[in-house]
């Protein structure tokens, strides 16, 4: 399970700049405190198989809510990783540090063996460095994740042909990367327009692979 749920961060803050694109914190009504970890984590715990792994992004300021929900649902918190944004959004007045990391929480069903660790073991830092822009095409989704970040996670935590499920699929980045890396995938998304975006991306990839 690899997902990027609503962070409940949206506000009506907007700022325009003469020399760069504007900043907006209005991501859409789906990010408006409608769903919290207690609503979805128990369902994930219910459907993960015994050697299943949950990898999820979340709002840095509310990680405690996610960790509490994981524990309550009987999942085992294993590790945090960090996405270091090499070109983070600028600070408006330059008096605070830029928010240059996003947390990624990794949990499993139990502490046993058989989780999807990479076969080739070794020493790796728990930091993924990537721009906030995609190398591939950008969609209209306001919080599309870069394929590079998702690819690092899928390569490390799953094996070819494993099933990767994203219950908050948005523009379908997790499914697109899973397809590219030869994993099975299943995406769930409530907004019809984003489902169509994800379908288009997946169809484009299949055509490229056919050639």
Mapped onto helix, strand or coil, the DSSP state of residue 185 is: strand
Q: Which range touches ligand SAM (CB under 6 A), out of 13-21, 116-124, 184-192, 199-207? A: 184-192
Binding of ligand SAM at residue 190 (CB under 6 A)?
A: yes
CA distance readout (Å), 52 to 15, 30, 190, 201? 42, 27, 24, 27
Q: Which range touches ligand SAM (CB under 6 A), out of 66-74, 86-94, 120-128, 142-150? A: 142-150
- Contact positions with ligand SAM (CB under 6 A) in 155-174: 168, 170-171, 173
Rounded to the nearest 5°, which phi and psi values hold at 112?
-70, 180
Name the residue number minimizing CB distance to ligand SAM.
170
Helix (H) / strand (E) containing 155: helix 147-157
Q: Which range touches ligand SAM (CB under 6 A), out of 13-21, 62-70, 105-113, 143-151? A: 143-151
Residue 73 half-sphere exposure toward CB, CA atoms < 13 A:
25
Helix (H) / strand (E) containing 197: helix 192-210
Binding of ligand SAM at residue 83 (CB under 6 A)?
A: no
Binding of ligand SAM at residue 30 (CB under 6 A)?
A: yes
Task: Say how many residues touch ligand SAM, by CB under 6 A.
Answer: 18
Query: Residue 103's CB: how many other CB atoms inside 10 A?
Result: 16
Distance CA 26, CA 154 (A): 29
Binding of ligand SAM at residue 147 (CB under 6 A)?
A: no
Binding of ligand SAM at residue 187 (CB under 6 A)?
A: no
Binding residues for ligand SAM, per CB under 6 A?
4-6, 30, 35, 141, 143-145, 168, 170-171, 173, 188-191, 194
């Amino acid at each position: 399970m690899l997902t990027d749920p609503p962070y409940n961060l949206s506000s009506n803050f907007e700022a325009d700049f003469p020399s760069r694109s504007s900043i907006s914190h209005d991501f859409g009504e789906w990010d408006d405190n409608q769903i919290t970890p207690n609503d979805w984590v128990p369902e994930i715990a219910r459907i993960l198989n015994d050697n299943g792994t949950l990898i999820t992004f979340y709002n840095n300021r509310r990680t405690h809510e996610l960790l509490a929900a994981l524990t309550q649902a009987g999942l085992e918190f294993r590790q945090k990783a960090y996405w270091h944004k090499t070109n983070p959004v600028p600070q408006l007045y330059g008096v605070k540090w830029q928010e240059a990391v996003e947390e990624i929480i990794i949990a499993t069903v139990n502490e046993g063996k058989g989780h999807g660790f990479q076969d080739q073991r070794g020493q790796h830092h728990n930091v993924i460095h990537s721009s906030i822009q995609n190398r591939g095409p950008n969609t209209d989704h306001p919080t599309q994740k870069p394929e590079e970040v998702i690819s690092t996670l899928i390569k490390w935590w799953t094996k070819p042909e494993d099933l990767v499920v994203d219950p908050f699929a948005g523009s379908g980045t997790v499914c697109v990367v899973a397809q590219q890396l030869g994993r099975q995938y299943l995406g769930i998304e409530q907004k019809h327009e984003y489902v169509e975006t994800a379908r288009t991306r997946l169809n484009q990839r299949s055509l490229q692979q056919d050639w």
